[in-house]
Copies of this chain bind each other. A is one copy, B any other.
Amino acid sequence: MTANRGGPARVGGPANRGGHATPARPADLARCSLNQATVKHARLEQAVAVAAAAGYAAIGLWRDRVRQTGARAAARIVAAAGLRVSTLCRGGFLTASDPVAARAALDDNRRAIEEAATVGAAELVLVVGGLPALSRPGQGPRPQATAADRDLAATRRRLADRIADLVPTALDHGVRLVLEPMHPLFTADRGVIATTAQALDLAAPFPPTAVGVVIDTYHVWWDPELERSIGRAGREGRLAAYQLGDWILPLAADPLHSRGHVGDGYIDFPAITGWMAAAGYAGDVETEIFNQAVWAEEAAVTAAIVADRYRRQVLPYLD
């Protein structure tokens, strides 16, 4: 098996990954990461401070927040707090059919790879994009949309080409491109990768050090093939990240904001976590929640709830 940051080769534990001095933290949160989007209204320094105070081991960063301080300063802030960066979110939106837009997307993703390397994120999550000629996210089809604009198969083929374009840059920087299968709710406007098996097929031509997949419970929990696909991802050395969010109903007006705290919805976290463990995943476990009610809460309160749910619904099934 090729060198593999996310799969069985990481069994030695994520603490081996970074070079930071890591102060003593609660042992039970040694793989627990707070995705920055979960405390959306906190600035980078505050999110890092909250995560460190709550005993987390890592934080998942977002590019727009990293830009507020600059990537180098962000790396220093995270390291000073003794945290790892579990992922950088996000690159992607790579499905444009227009050549100018496609080139702009590649440029932006190459910058994202550089930023990931600078902040110390080995994993760059990609939200790959929808049917680009038809709409912007959340909006309806453009009136002038043609039959070709609805060609989902062709859009997926273009995506494969754009991933190939990015792989050399990713390898140069030691950053893995992490394909995100998204809930089919988002196939039209955000992500044409709908299943983990499809993500693995797209990754297959490239080394596991260059292209991996993220298992985000919110996006993949419904998949009848999920256990099998997670096992395959482990065997192929592609398990790059594990993200948590629950499926709650009714959907929010913007369905993107329907992610609930672990345990508040329908998802069987013990089962999925057990599949991840059986597949050899030994990386960080990031909770990522987009939800207006969660965002209205104090960041420290949210961090405490996330840690509590992690301890009860995830940790016992992780080894």
Contact = CB atoms under 8 A, between A and B. Distances in A.
Interface of A: 131, 134-135, 138-141, 147, 150-153, 156, 183-185, 187-189, 194-195, 197-198, 201, 221-225, 227, 247-251, 253, 255, 264-268, 270-271
B141 A271 contact: no
A140 B194 contact: no
A265 B152 contact: no
Interface centre among A139, A187, A224, A251 (most CB of B within 10 A): A224
Contact of A141 (B135, B194, B227, B265): B265
Contacts of A265: 140-141, 188
A249 B184 contact: no
A250 B138 contact: yes
A195 B220 CA distance: 13
A227 B183 CA distance: 19
Contacts of A247: 188
User: How many copies of this protein are present in the complex?
Assistant: 2
A218 to B, nearest CB: 11
Contacts of A266: 131, 134-135, 141, 150, 187-188
A69 B59 CA distance: 62
A221 B268 contact: no
Contact of A150 (B188, B198, B268): B268
A233 to B, nearest CB: 16
Interface centre among A189, A248, A268 (most CB of B within 10 A): A268
A249 B189 contact: yes
A198 B139 CA distance: 31
A162 B153 CA distance: 36
Nearest to A191: B222
